[in-house]
Chain A
Amino acid sequence: MIPAAFSYTRPASLAEALSLLAGASDGTKVINGGQSLLPLLKLRVAEVDRLIDIGRLGELQGIRPGADGGLVIGGAVPYTAVLASPLVAERCPLLAETIADIGDVQVRNRGTLGGSVAHADPASDLPAAMLALDASFVTRSSAGERVVAADGFFHGAFETDLRPDELLMELRIPGLAAGTGTAYRRLAQPASGYSLVGVAAVVRTDAGRVVDARVGITGVGEVAYRARAVETALLGGSSVADAAAHAADGQVVASDIHADAEYRGAMAVVFTRRAIEAATVRAG
């Protein structure tokens, strides 16, 4: 319940934050909302020497329309703000659907999208949606800015492309083409509420035929992934059920006391099918 001691810095500006990170030791960690980090520190599963709090930096706030009909969301925007945003509801209902059940209202009030993406818990919901939406992340260090596609950003459990001296500035979500439907379907672990399986599907149809499909899956593998075998099968004209059967292809499926690999793998298939079916219906 009591973290090991650390020091705490809340930089007043982005420049100060980046300069602090530029010379930071290994024991330095960025805290955004802290809803994942603090429980780890309290149990002393993780220990840090120093926390740099970026939660209030103005550059990480705000939900803005993207030029392509999509969205740009600041890295420190909390879930609740996203859920309350009419712009999100209009342009990216998948995002709202995905985060509606993350944690609980207290966690959503405090937890941030950037924090979740950077933390890369293998059971968190947001990465699945980011993959299916073909989102990208803007990162910045004192050396400059990068734009990293979500696909490829998640390297492993709690490991991402984000470098130690970088901040995750914003999430960029492209606009959806006409005829696109989206859906998120999940199976929750009953104690933590984390997803045993979470599947985000983005499906575009034309005259009843799937012409584009992206499927992001969380909870199943070591990290959230794009289910390309499912997408390929769909585009190749397979039935949704047949395509979904490939949901866990190539994955080392996770196993724990709540869901062993056999069950998780089977549920990946079921929830992939359900997500695609729902997205397809919504695609019209």
Chain B
Amino acid sequence: MTLAANPLDTLGQPLKRKEDPRFITGTGRYLDDITLPGMTHLVVLRSPYAHARIRSINTSVAKTMPGVVAVYTGADTAEVNPLPCAWAAGGVENHLDTPRILTPDVARWTGDAVAAVVAETRAQAVDAAAAIDVDYEPLPVVVNAEEALKPGAPQLHENAPSNIEAQWSCGDAAGTAQAIGSAEVVVRQRIVNQRLIPNPMETRGSIGSFDAGTGEYTVWMTSQAPHVMRLLITAFVLGIPEHKMRCISPDVGGGFGSKIFLYHDMPLVAWISKQLGRPVKFVETRSENYQATTHGRDHITDIEVAGSRDGVITGLRVKTIANMGAYLSTIAPGIPTTLYGRLLSGAYRFPNIFCEVTNVYTNTAMVDAYRGAGRPEATYVVERAIDLFADEIGMDPAEVRRRNFIPPDAFPYDPKVLTGPTGLTLKYDSGNYAPALDRALEMAGYADQATAKAEAASRGKLLGFGLSSYIEICGVAPSKWIGLPGEGWGAGLWESANIRVHLTGKVVVTTGSQNHGQGHETTMAQIVGARLGIPVEDVLVEHSDTSGTPFGYGTYGSRSGAVGGIAAYNAAEKVRDKAKRLAAHMLEANPEDMEYDDGTAFVRGSPDRAKTIAEIALAASVGYDLPAGMEPFLDETAYYDPPNCTYPFGTHVAMVEVDRETGHVDLVRYIGVDDVGKKINPLVVDGQLHGGIAQGVGQALWEGAVYDDSGQLLSGTMMDYALPRASRLPSFELDETVTPSPVNPLGIKGAGEAGTIGSAAAVVNAVVDALSDFGIRHIDMPLTDQTVWRAMRVAEAGGAGGDVRGAAEGRA
């Protein structure tokens, strides 16, 4: 650890996290660790059919079983509104269908909730749920989004003909068609971005408690956005006053997007707690999480990339079918539209881009944001397109990237697809893409790859190098850009913070952001502590409780630092201003002459005429002697709506070895050179990058949610859904470039999703490179042993195609 010249200026320092002592000693408090007096337990019966009409439900046996308190079905909850969808695809017609807290008539996927059993113990509730007799009339099922669009496909919702939720586009259709029509080279490829299961290690859950005396509800939830949940549960679902509910996220064991959303159990536990007058707890099992919590990705995309043989790309046309699942999750339509199409320029100066997206309902689990949320899908398209194009013209893919990079003098850069017909016009804030590429190539020994490949070949292995020069949109988002006038998000996306400096000089910061592993309790304290000159130890960060923290939109989209952190910064500026004014009064100085540094307000040029923040806080707290008109106490709140998103970037290089007999892929080295702007805490940032990389590698090589044709989830447990394991990953080799963001005063960009956004394409590009002798130009993820093996065998046989999973296309 390098120490700052000023120990109070901890910005940029790799501090150990303040929240860790409770986690390493087993004294963290996650949702399932909470037990309330008189608490009951809820177990949800879910449809075993992916599509079925519910003819009848017989709960009579279940109701008489030991410990059973109540059993509810959709008929009992008919008064409760469906869950809202908060983000319709912007600027186009949407056919919105959202789930109810218990489905009353038709089950549309195997996670659809049919009945709720409440018992004294969880075991009793499980036993009783097994005794509920439901008479189902199975209906035709469709799980593949492309199949769902075909004439005659089973229809999920009456108001969504052809199962289309929305059709959305961005970019320049005519210009792109012209570019493709006149191009020297056009490469076309279908690529599938498979469905993933987010897999936070803590499954989801909720606890409802109703106080009949006050008429107030308390709902504990594993949520990334408790303030938003309170709004949605009260105003939209249950129709009760917003202020009559308190929502609390206790310690949350990861989310990766899947805990942003409103799920049926959250209003359900509140509703049940009022019915029963007793608290009720719901905690998913892992299999249930796989069935019923949101999935991610699931795109089928046809790409056309056009350009000239000198390596310059002139057009990119993308047509994507996005699987929404059986209903819309809270922000689902916005993910494959705004957060996908608007990133399709990547790090490149593509003069023409056009993207069409069709959001489709199928009899599968709902699909919504999963780490990166649209941006990994876009990056995968762009970075595969670059390699396909490079392969076609026989040019080094690193060189093609270099020739198409947006040059450093072009910033702020308008890639044209970033802004729709209305709303705030956004531009990439800052960037210098080539140095990160050069450094990554240097670390990988890319220039001497022939030697490395020959060495691997001597061991019978096929070595491949894969690049990904990603950018991402972080720090979401300016409300005017993403909100209804522009991109269709039904609210704003500013963030909040409050700072109180107490009488003893100790500080409490509250934030509207939500910490579920990102380290807010440390990094927010670093921002505030550094600005106020107060030791980090003396700054407590409170979050995730609607009682006591200002409204905020929560944590996702790499926004906690670049939006939430700036709110904290701005609140600290307000505290500094007030402290200076009060200190001037205490020192009988002119307020205009005051400065603030190192926790001290002093008269400019006379540093001995000074008051420490502790002295000022004491004076403000006791309030005996304040300047005329000044309110007591140092208590300041800031709401920060960013003027722009931030645009981190970097180049990742994956090096893989493929066993030509088995298809097994070994990730032997992984190099990442990331530019996330300035860092609040590099230890935390690197941790975010590591975890993100592992998730992208997981998608590239192992992970995939697989349904059979009847809508049964075949990858229904951890026995069949392959998560990255320690033994299958190398240590990651990271370096950085630093291009501060001009968007915010800290120059930070965001890092929570960068690793995931960059890594899947790097790994796939590496495997395709390793298989170049076979003439293989593309394989769909995950690149399992079988998939890679089959690609090689099909290519050897001179064929193309193959089965749907693991299809490989040989170059003709």
Direct contact of A and B (CB under 8 A): yes
Q: How far is the CA of A5 from the CA of B130 in the complex (A)?
A: 12
Q: Which of B127, B287, B784 has the most CB of A within 10 A?
A: B784
Given A2-B123, A270-B662, the answer on whether A263 and B786 have CB atoms closer than 8 Å is yes
Cβ-defined contact, A257 with B127, below 8 A: no
Interface check B231, CB cutoff 8 A: no
Interface check B723, CB cutoff 8 A: yes
Given A1-B285, A2-B126, A260-B786, the answer on whether A190 and B661 have CB atoms closer than 8 Å is no
Could you say which residues of chain B place their CB within 8 Å of the CB of A263? 785-786, 789-790
Interface check B622, CB cutoff 8 A: no
Interface check A281, CB cutoff 8 A: no
Q: How far is the CA of A251 from the CA of B722 in the complex (A)?
A: 27
- The closest CB in chain A to the CB of B203 belongs to A1
Cβ-defined contact, A191 with B722, below 8 A: yes
Q: Which one of A1, A4, A43, A258 lies within 8 Å of B720 (CB-CB)? A: A258
Q: How far is the CA of A259 from the CA of B803 in the complex (A)?
A: 13
Q: How far is the CA of A96 from the CA of B321 in the complex (A)?
A: 50
Could you say which residues of chain B place their CB within 8 Å of the CB of A191? 702, 715, 718-723
Interface check B16, CB cutoff 8 A: no
Q: How far is the CA of A47 from the CA of B509 in the complex (A)?
A: 52
Interface bin, chain B: 20 to 34
Cβ-defined contact, B721 with A266, below 8 A: no
- The closest CB in chain A to the CB of B789 belongs to A263
Q: How far is the CA of A189 from the CA of B702 in the complex (A)?
A: 10
Chain A binding site: helix, strand, loop or mixed by DSSP?
Answer: loop
Could you say which residues of chain B place their CB within 8 Å of the CB of A44? 130
Q: How many whole Å from A260's CB to the nearest CB in chain B?
A: 7
Could you say which residues of chain B place their CB within 8 Å of the CB of A106? none
Q: How far is the CA of A245 from the CA of B650 in the complex (A)?
A: 47
Interface bin, chain A: 20 to 34
Q: How many whole Å from A202's CB to the nearest CB in chain B?
A: 23
Contact bitstring B773-812, A, C-beta under 8 A = 1, else 0: 0000000000011100110000000000000000000000
Cβ-defined contact, A257 with B715, below 8 A: yes
Interface check B664, CB cutoff 8 A: yes
Q: How many whole Å from A167's CB to the nearest CB in chain B?
A: 28
CB contacts under 8 Å to A, within B122-165, are: 122-123, 126-127, 130
Q: How far is the CA of A44 from the CA of B123 in the complex (A)?
A: 12
Q: How many whole Å from B694's CB to the nearest CB in chain A?
A: 14
Cβ-defined contact, A190 with B702, below 8 A: yes
Interface check A267, CB cutoff 8 A: yes
Interface check B717, CB cutoff 8 A: yes
Given A187-B664, A191-B721, A270-B661, the answer on whether A2 and B715 have CB atoms closer than 8 Å is no
Q: How far is the CA of A245 from the CA of B557 in the complex (A)?
A: 52
The total of Cβ contacts below 8 Å across the A-B interface reads 53
Cβ-defined contact, A257 with B714, below 8 A: yes
Could you say which residues of chain B place their CB within 8 Å of the CB of A4? 127, 130
Interface check B244, CB cutoff 8 A: no
Could you say which residues of chain B place their CB within 8 Å of the CB of A267? 662, 785
Chain B binding site: helix, strand, loop or mixed by DSSP?
Answer: loop
Contact bitstring A151-192, B, C-beta under 8 A = 1, else 0: 000000000000000000000000000000000000101111
Q: How many whole Å from A129's CB to the nearest CB in chain B?
A: 21
Q: How far is the CA of A201 from the CA of B287 in the complex (A)?
A: 37
Cβ-defined contact, A5 with B127, below 8 A: yes
Q: Which of B662, B664, B718 has the most CB of A within 10 A?
A: B662
Q: How far is the CA of A189 from the CA of B721 in the complex (A)?
A: 10
CB contacts under 8 Å to B, within A2-56, are: 2, 4-5, 39, 43-44
Could you say which residues of chain A place their CB within 8 Å of the CB of B287? 43
Cβ-defined contact, A257 with B789, below 8 A: no
Q: How far is the CA of A189 from the CA of B728 in the complex (A)?
A: 12
Given A190-B784, A266-B789, A270-B662, the answer on whether A257 and B130 have CB atoms closer than 8 Å is no
Interface check B312, CB cutoff 8 A: no
CB contacts under 8 Å to B, within A246-273, are: 257-260, 263, 266-267, 270
Q: Which one of B122, B123, B785 lies within 8 Å of A187 (CB-CB)? A: B785
Cβ-defined contact, A2 with B714, below 8 A: no
Cβ-defined contact, A259 with B127, below 8 A: no
Q: How far is the CA of A2 from the CA of B124 in the complex (A)?
A: 10
Cβ-defined contact, B661 with A257, below 8 A: no
- The closest CB in chain B to the CB of A5 belongs to B127
CB contacts under 8 Å to A, within B658-702, are: 661-662, 664, 702
Q: Which of A4, A5, A189, A258 has the most CB of B within 10 A?
A: A258
Q: Which one of B127, B130, B728, B790 lies within 8 Å of A190 (CB-CB)? A: B728
Interface check B706, CB cutoff 8 A: yes
Q: How far is the CA of A213 from the CA of B328 in the complex (A)?
A: 60
Q: How far is the CA of A258 from the CA of B286 in the complex (A)?
A: 20
Could you say which residues of chain A place their CB within 8 Å of the CB of B728? 190
Q: How far is the CA of A189 from the CA of B717 in the complex (A)?
A: 14
CB contacts under 8 Å to A, within B442-478, are: none
Cβ-defined contact, A258 with B786, below 8 A: yes
Could you say which residues of chain B place their CB within 8 Å of the CB of A187? 662, 664, 785
Q: How far is the CA of A190 from the CA of B285 in the complex (A)?
A: 21
Contact bitstring B426-455, A, C-beta under 8 A = 1, else 0: 000000000000000000000000000000
Given A1-B285, A263-B786, A270-B662, the answer on whether A257 and B720 have CB atoms closer than 8 Å is yes
Q: How far is the CA of A6 from the CA of B718 in the complex (A)?
A: 26
Q: How many whole Å from B330's CB to the nearest CB in chain A?
A: 27
Could you say which residues of chain A place their CB within 8 Å of the CB of B661? 270
Q: How far is the CA of A270 from the CA of B715 in the complex (A)?
A: 27
Cβ-defined contact, B664 with A258, below 8 A: no
Contact bitstring B705-749, A, C-beta under 8 A = 1, else 0: 010000000110111111101001000000000000000000000
Could you say which residues of chain B place their CB within 8 Å of the CB of A39? 719
Given A187-B664, A263-B790, the answer on whether A2 and B719 have CB atoms closer than 8 Å is no
Q: How far is the CA of A203 from the CA of B86 in the complex (A)?
A: 66
Q: How far is the CA of A124 from the CA of B687 in the complex (A)?
A: 36
Cβ-defined contact, A192 with B786, below 8 A: no
Q: How far is the CA of A260 from the CA of B715 in the complex (A)?
A: 15
- The closest CB in chain B to the CB of A4 belongs to B127
Q: How many whole Å from A186's CB to the nearest CB in chain B?
A: 11
- The closest CB in chain A to the CB of B719 belongs to A192
Q: How far is the CA of A39 from the CA of B720 in the complex (A)?
A: 14
Q: How many whole Å from A132's CB to the nearest CB in chain B?
A: 21
Q: How far is the CA of A189 from the CA of B127 in the complex (A)?
A: 32
- The closest CB in chain B to the CB of A270 belongs to B661
Contact bitstring B282-297, A, C-beta under 8 A = 1, else 0: 0001110000000000
Q: How far is the CA of A192 from the CA of B664 in the complex (A)?
A: 16
Q: Which one of B662, B714, B720 lies within 8 Å of A192 (CB-CB)? A: B720
Contact bitstring B397-418, A, C-beta under 8 A = 1, else 0: 0000000000000000000000
Could you say which residues of chain A place their CB within 8 Å of the CB of B722? 189-191
Q: How many whole Å from A220's CB to the nearest CB in chain B?
A: 14
- The closest CB in chain A to the CB of B698 belongs to A190
- The closest CB in chain A to the CB of B718 belongs to A191
Could you say which residues of chain B place their CB within 8 Å of the CB of A259? 785-786
Q: How many whole Å from B123's CB to the nearest CB in chain A?
A: 5
Could you say which residues of chain B place their CB within 8 Å of the CB of A43? 287, 717
Q: How far is the CA of A257 from the CA of B715 in the complex (A)?
A: 8
CB contacts under 8 Å to A, within B90-126, are: 122-123, 126
Q: How many whole Å from B295's CB to the nearest CB in chain A?
A: 16
Q: How far is the CA of A259 from the CA of B720 in the complex (A)?
A: 12
16 more A-B contacts (CB under 8 A) besides A187-B785, A263-B789, A270-B661?
A2-B122, A5-B127, A189-B722, A190-B722, A190-B725, A191-B702, A191-B719, A191-B723, A192-B719, A192-B720, A257-B715, A259-B785, A259-B786, A266-B789, A267-B785, A270-B662
25 inter-chain pairs at a CB distance below 8 angstroms, sorted by A residue, are A1-B126, A2-B123, A2-B126, A4-B130, A5-B123, A5-B127, A44-B130, A187-B664, A187-B785, A191-B715, A191-B719, A191-B721, A192-B718, A192-B720, A257-B706, A257-B720, A258-B720, A258-B784, A258-B786, A259-B786, A260-B786, A263-B786, A263-B789, A266-B789, A267-B785
6 smallest CB-CB distances across A and B, nearest first, come from A190-B722, A191-B722, A192-B719, A263-B786, A1-B285, A2-B126
Q: Which A residues are within 8 Å of any B CB, using their own CB?
A: 1-2, 4-5, 39, 43-44, 187, 189-192, 257-260, 263, 266-267, 270
